Structure 1
Amino acid sequence: MQKTCVVLFLWLSQAVCAGGVALDPVVPPVVLAREATEDIDPAPYWVSEKLDGVRAIWDGRALRFRSGRPVHAPDWFVQALPAQAMDGELWLGRGRFAELSGLVRKQMPVDAEWRRVRYMIFELPDAPGDFSQRVSAMRALVASADVPWLGVVAQARVPNRAVLTAQLAEVLAAGGEGLMLHRADAPYLTGRSDALLKLKPWQDAEAIVTAHVPGQGRFVGMLGALEVRMADGRKFRIGTGLSDDERRAPPAIGAQISFRYRGLTATGLPRFASFWRVREPL
């Protein structure tokens, strides 16, 4: 008897075969940021802090990572969330990404750990109106839900570049990553566009580890550099930003890593690329 495969196309759902074989999760369409230029005029934007958290999308019934895989949060955490779709970051606080990443990836959630997590929303998928209207809607939604672990990312208007620069410096001094700028007049969009920009003292990107380059001198017997491949297929090496522990046990070949850099070379490769962290599959 031929097995019947039923695919549930609920937003952010997984395809599951009746024969018991789970297929890859459906990757949700989400809004993505581009890099802001140094001369950006912030007046048309709402400005917020860029939280160093784990992206999570709530479709009104299930909480999922950007990959489409389920977040194994405690029942009490998700059952208290409103039925409206929301997009945001699971967050512990500045400089605590590694701790958070380990916590939210556990198949069996630990209540005591999750009591410290907040779901900070910054978008309402497919909601009507421009972003200014959605900011008001998010604030009202969070206030109405009255859930201690549900918050809205603080948004503010910034009149000029001088004030923006001062705000960026303040966030960095406090241990933050940078700022996000979202056009006030933008409808809800998915993919990358100039409607959402990130402003940081560095740029970041992802690459796949393709080889381990042996170390020399002080690094004999350890990793010297990672050979990585970008999305366009070009390869280069990253030899800085790695701790001694990471050099002794480097990211596996095939792993996806994040790296930081400052602009591009004349050939279009990242300049001053430095290892940041392994992007764990979520």
Structure 2
Amino acid sequence: MMQRRDLLSHFSLGCFGSLASLPALATQPPALWLANPYQGNEELSDYWVSEKFDGIRGYWDGRQLLSRSGKTLNPPTWFVQAWPKQPFEGELWAGLGQFEQAASVIQQKQAPDSSWRAMRFMVFDANTSPQAFTDRIVRYQSLVKQIGKPWVQAVPQSKVPSHAALKAILSKTVQADGEGLVLHRGSSLYQSGRNSDVLKFKSHEDAEAKVIALESGQGKHAQRLGALMVETPQGMRFKLGTGFTDAQRENPPAVGQWVTYSYRGLTDKGVPRFASFVRIRPAVER
């Protein structure tokens, strides 16, 4: 196995800062909904469809901005100026294909204003009352209009007539470097946890796993990373040997870090098929 490098030097892709610069942990994580995978047999007339933005999920609790894991984020005062006391949530997004940039900005205690001015908060829900999602769309659109800042935007929602049309929208989204789609049941009340009222539709499945060992490469990858040995939250262990850039093989994730991987279904033993490294999961989301 490759010798483990200094944890701090591998804390992020690019430079996400030191442990001391990480956002502080709030009292407890916010109780947010989580999406299940789209299956293709749903009654589409029940769902609203929107783009899935590839950023960092943020939750405004009425006084501060939190990550999904409950860490207090540190946007500049002007970024959240005039935000209402009602809770709403969205995606802190830096643009198509700019996930690493978004993660880098958010994980700094005091990122430059110029970096934050490239960010958008894409609002997609407002869990202010026991309303159905169709009514909450109107609510979050109203909140965004009330805020009146160009960096706070309401995520558009639309109805899609068929599964074939949905797949065409996904294809167009992915070709434009988008991440995928989200389907939200219009009649559903806000509820935390993973359920089929909210679905994610991507060209591939993805999940997270913890790095438990680094394996050195051979041939053209000699003297650098060959593969990561990872473990899922369910205890399944397997290798990730593809998806890395040359820079990532030279400066790989450290043991103990969490990574996102893509895959295409599971084997009979439950091992992800064609698993491929996507990125290091930002510490702010853990």
Provide the TM-score with structure 2 as the length reference. 0.88
State the number of aligned residues.
261
Bigger Rg over Cα = 1
Distance 2:188 2:219 in 1: 53
Which stretch shifts more, 248-257 or 134-143? 134-143
Task: State the secondary structure of the residue aligned to 1:64.
Answer: strand
Paired amino acid for 1:86? F
Tell me if structure 2 keeps the 8 A contact 1:126–1:188: no
Paired amino acid for 1:35? P
CA positional deviation for 1:103: 1.1
Tell me if structure 2 keeps the 8 A contact 1:72–1:107: yes
Give the structure 2 partner of residue 87 of structure 1: 89
Question: CA RMSD of the aligned region, Å?
Answer: 1.4
Equivalences for 1:1-282 in 2 at 5 Å? Answer: 25-282=27-284
CA positional deviation for 1:142: 1.2
- Which deviations, in whole Å up to 9, do the C-alpha atoms of 1:55-104 show, x marking residues without a partner? 11000100011121111100111122122101110111110001111111
Identify the structure with bigger relative contact order (alpha carbons < 8 Å, sequence gap 6+).
Answer: 2
Distance 1:139 1:46 in 2: 15
Tell me if structure 2 keeps the 8 A contact 1:81–1:147: no
Task: State the secondary structure of the residue aligned to 2:171.
Answer: helix
Tell me if structure 2 keeps the 8 A contact 1:41–1:161: no
Distance 1:154 1:66 in 2: 22
Which stretch shifts more, 168-177 or 185-194? 168-177
Distance 2:71 2:39 in 1: 33
Tell me if structure 2 keeps the 8 A contact 1:42–1:164: no
CA positional deviation for 1:38: 3.3
- Which deviations, in whole Å up to 9, do the C-alpha atoms of 1:177-230 show, x marking residues without a partner? 110000011000110000000001100100000001111111111111100000
Paired amino acid for 2:248? E
Task: State the secondary structure of the residue aligned to 1:240.
Answer: coil
Distance 1:154 1:24 in 2: 30
Structure 2: give runs of 5+ residues left out of the alignment.
Answer: 1-23
Distance 1:250 1:85 in 2: 38
CA positional deviation for 1:126: 4.4
- Which deviations, in whole Å up to 9, do the C-alpha atoms of 1:155-185 show, x marking residues without a partner? 1011111211111111111111110000011
Q: Given the superposition, is the C-alpha separation of residues 24 and 209 from structure 1 closer, same or farther in structure 2, using an over 3 Å criterion?
A: farther
CA positional deviation for 1:144: 2.2
Tell me if structure 1 keeps the 8 A contact 2:26–2:72: no
CA positional deviation for 1:24: 6.9
CA positional deviation for 1:105: 1.2
